[in-house]
Amino acid sequence: QVQLVESGGGLVQPGGSLRLSCAASGFILDDDYTIGWFRQAPGKEREGISRINSGDGRIHYADSVKGRFTISRDNTKNTVYLQMDSLKPEDTAVYYCAADPLIYSDSFWLYPEDLELWGQGTLVTVSS
């Protein structure tokens, strides 16, 4: 199976932290893939929040999470992480990881319907 599986979501108080994991199986997650994170809050559009571009490995963040979230990868574990700090209620959403071997740069966020691989999502709720 070619699969991405997210984990690490849950309930956290404002100002708290969570680390999400996205484990790849059935393929090797390396620099040939752009890998990133999306989220979708109730009543809102799906939002690309972070990615690591294939090839050059450049990291990008949406303005809404810049300075608070950190994306990283561990090739040994075939896993990508999203460290989320200083969480706010508006961060409440279902978080998805996605990967694609061909799509990169801004197209990764602009045309998410074209991405090859998606996880099932993990719910993050930020509330007191």
pLDDT single digits (tens) 6-44: 999 999 999 999 999 999 999 998 889 999 999 999 999
Say if residues 73 and 81 touch (Cβ distance below 8 Å).
yes
Q: What is the pLDDT of residue 30?
A: 85
Statement: residue 126 has pLDDT above 90: yes
User: 104 pLDDT band (50/70/90 cuts)?
Assistant: confident
Q: In angstroms, what is the C-alpha Rg of the chain?
A: 14
**Residue type at position 39:** R
Pairwise CA distance, residues 91 & 73, whole Å:
22
Statement: residue 45 has pLDDT above 90: yes
Say if residues 69 and 82 touch (Cβ distance below 8 Å).
yes
Distances (CA, A) of 94 to 30, 73, 75, 80: 25, 20, 25, 17
> What percentage of the chain has pLDDT greater than the value 70?
100
